[in-house]
């Protein structure tokens, strides 16, 4: 569980990521990526020729399942705290189940506030009748996080609320399990055309396509550089949408951005999602919902 009030390290696109070089390395769905539903997808078209090698066309001889790129639409978060909701919207739209007014009323019914935990997202999937499986290392709130700056605010009230959600999960048909998930499990899931929302430490996750991001500060006027020390943990949700086995990359949508798919090495991804503070939360979502 665990979750963010996502203190996004990335400002919404427009402030950062506007340089042509960076944008061109991130083909938009219109220019670069082609992906077909139902698992294995071909790589980019001719427009993709200036792509880094790992994004070029899949070798036709490569076995199916070695390259997966699912057409998960990109939806940007609106505030600093709603990355989890943006991820849920991306997933629901991918499943063809996103209706904006229904989504808004779901948020009201579930009484979601600005503090969104992974368990809240699992309830949201359940609300829409979406088949899901939430894997975590801690079934409830980890007391150890109490003094982490990211979690400190309102820890006690949130602890009660979140622990209740865990306690009621089974009765509410929300599937939660304490389990360890391997990269192979994740790849097998994606290869079936399914997707996943993952809680990561955004201070650790580094996209290979975005050039090293300028750090902005929540407290500085917009566009001003931040010279604060990076906090140890910044919870952030992303949506997984594929991988390239040959190059060892994983593809994801980062809701901080409106215009790109991101990619990182499996090792960086593993470090970011198993970082202290995440509880290794991963919400598997199934296409056949
Ligand atoms: Zn990126």
49 C-alpha to ligand 1 centroid (Å): 18
95 C-alpha to ligand 1 centroid (Å): 23
Structure-block tokens of residue 138: 């801690």
User: pLDDT of 114-125, one tens digit each?
Assistant: 889 999 999 999
pTM: 0.76
User: pLDDT of 224-257, one tens digit each?
Assistant: 555 555 667 899 999 999 999 999 999 999 999 9
105 C-alpha to ligand 1 centroid (Å): 32
What pLDDT score was predicted for residue 145?
A: 81
159 C-alpha to ligand 1 centroid (Å): 33
147 C-alpha to ligand 1 centroid (Å): 31
What pLDDT score was predicted for residue 257?
A: 93
Q: Are strands 195-201 and 235-244 parallel, antiparallel or unpaired?
A: antiparallel
Nearest-CA neighbor of 142 among 123, 125, 158, 121? 158
252 C-alpha to ligand 1 centroid (Å): 9
CA angle 176, 92, 104 (to 5 degrees): 95
H or E segment to which residue 166 belongs = helix 155-168
289 C-alpha to ligand 1 centroid (Å): 29
122 C-alpha to ligand 1 centroid (Å): 26
User: pLDDT of 164-201, one tens digit each?
Assistant: 999 999 999 999 999 999 999 999 999 999 999 999 99
User: pLDDT of 53-108, one tens digit each?
Assistant: 444 445 555 566 899 999 999 999 999 889 999 999 999 999 999 999 999 999 99
260 C-alpha to ligand 1 centroid (Å): 7
Q: Tell me: pLDDT of 7 over 80.
A: no
55 C-alpha to ligand 1 centroid (Å): 13
DSSP class of residue 143 equals G
What pLDDT score was predicted for residue 232?
A: 79
The contacts of residue 259 (CB under 8 Å, 6+ apart) are 13, 17, 23, 26, 28, 74
Give percent above pLDDT 70 in the chain. 71
What pLDDT score was predicted for residue 151?
A: 77
262 C-alpha to ligand 1 centroid (Å): 4
* CB distance 195 to 133 below 8 Å: no
Mean pLDDT of the chain: 78
30 C-alpha to ligand 1 centroid (Å): 17
274 C-alpha to ligand 1 centroid (Å): 20
Q: Tell me: pLDDT of 112 over 80.
A: yes
155 C-alpha to ligand 1 centroid (Å): 31
190 C-alpha to ligand 1 centroid (Å): 19
15 C-alpha to ligand 1 centroid (Å): 14
What pLDDT score was predicted for residue 61?
A: 55
17 C-alpha to ligand 1 centroid (Å): 9
Which of 11-20, 35-44, 183-192 has maximum average pLDDT? 183-192
């Amino acid at each position: 569980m665990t979750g963010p009030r996502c203190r996004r390290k990335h400002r919404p696109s427009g402030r950062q990521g506007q340089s042509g070089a960076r944008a061109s390395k991130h083909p938009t769905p219109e220019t670069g990526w082609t992906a077909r539903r139902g698992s294995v997808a071909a790589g980019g078209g001719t427009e993709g020729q200036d792509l880094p090698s790992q994004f070029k066309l899949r070798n036709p001889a490569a076995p199916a399942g070695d390259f997966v790129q699912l057409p998960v639409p990109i939806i940007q978060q609106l505030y600093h705290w709603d990355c989890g909701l943006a991820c849920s919207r991306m997933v629901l739209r991918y499943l063809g189940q996103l209706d904006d007014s229904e989504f808004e009323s779901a948020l009201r019914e579930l009484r979601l506030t600005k503090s969104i935990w992974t368990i809240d997202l699992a309830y949201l999937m359940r609300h829409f009748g979406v088949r899901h499986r939430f894997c975590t290392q801690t079934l409830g709130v980890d007391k150890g996080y109490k003094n982490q700056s990211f979690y400190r605010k309102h820890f006690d009230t949130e602890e009660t609320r979140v622990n209740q959600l865990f306690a009621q999960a089974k009765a509410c048909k929300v599937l939660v399990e304490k389990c360890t998930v391997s990269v192979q499990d994740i790849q097998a899931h994606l290869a079936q055309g399914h997707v996943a929302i993952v809680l990561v430490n955004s201070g650790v996750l580094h996209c290979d396509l975005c050039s090293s991001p300028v750090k902005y500060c929540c407290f500085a006027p917009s566009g001003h550089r931040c010279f604060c020390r990076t906090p140890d943990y910044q919870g952030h949700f992303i949506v997984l949408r594929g991988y390239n086995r040959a190059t060892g990359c994983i593809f994801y949508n980062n809701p901080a951005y409106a215009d790109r798919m991101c990619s990182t090495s499996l090792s960086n991804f593993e470090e970011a999602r198993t970082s202290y503070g995440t509880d290794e939360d991963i919400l598997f979502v199934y296409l056949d919902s």
